């Protein structure tokens, strides 16, 4: 069964600093990987996705992620964060069912001034 592990439950960072949110997946077949963001009191929205092709994927709000097959990782990065990036971030993998996503436990990013 496919699974996703987010290695950090909380990541505090100062404004304008770089950040990396770590995600590892387990799968023996081709993977489709996603990052979703949940702002306070809102639903989730798609940040970026990897389906195939280039391993470096760019998303909205200046975020990017790199698919690393050998390390089974899909870490999310941003070179300079803003206060408005404070949110919970979920890594997910597309499972065997149609449009069924398996989510990680989430990483809470707190950006401080």
Partner 1 sequence: EAQVTQNPRYLITVTGKKLTVTCSQNMNHEYMSWYRQDPGLGLRQIYYSMNVEVTDKGDVPEGYKVSRKEKRNFPLILESPSPNQTSLYFCASSWAGGNTGELFFGEGSRLTVL
Q: Contact positions toward partner 1, by CB under 8 A? A: 4, 9, 32, 34, 41-46, 49, 51, 90, 92, 94, 97-101, 103-106
Cα–Cα distance, 92 to 19 (Å, whole number): 19
Structure-block tokens of residue 38:
């949940």
Our CB check for partner 1 shows the closer of 19 and 102 to be 102
Our CB check for partner 1 shows the closer of 81 and 92 to be 92
Minimum CB separation of residue 14 from partner 1 in Å reads 25
Which has the closest alpha carbon to 90: 72, 109, 71?
A: 109
Cα–Cα distance, 26 to 56 (Å, whole number): 19
Structure-block tokens of residue 99:
């449009």
Our CB check for partner 1 shows the closer of 102 and 111 to be 102
Minimum CB separation of residue 36 from partner 1 in Å reads 8
Minimum CB separation of residue 100 from partner 1 in Å reads 6
Cα–Cα distance, 91 to 22 (Å, whole number): 9
What is the bridge-based pairing of β-strands 10-14 and 107-112? parallel
Our CB check for partner 1 shows the closer of 15 and 32 to be 32
């Amino acid at each position: 069964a496919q699974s996703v592990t987010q290695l950090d439950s909380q990541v505090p960072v100062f404004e304008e600093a770089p950040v990396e949110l770590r995600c590892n997946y387990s799968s023996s077949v081709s993977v489709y990987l996603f990052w979703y963001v949940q702002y306070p009191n809102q639903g989730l929205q798609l940040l970026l996705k990897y389906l195939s092709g280039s391993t470096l994927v760019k998303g909205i709000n200046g975020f990017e992620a790199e698919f690393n097959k050998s390390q089974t990782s899909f870490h999310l990065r941003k070179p300079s964060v803003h206060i408005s990036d404070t949110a919970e971030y979920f890594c997910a993998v597309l499972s065997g069912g149609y449009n069924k996503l398996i989510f990680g436990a989430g990483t809470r990013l707190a950006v401080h001034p």
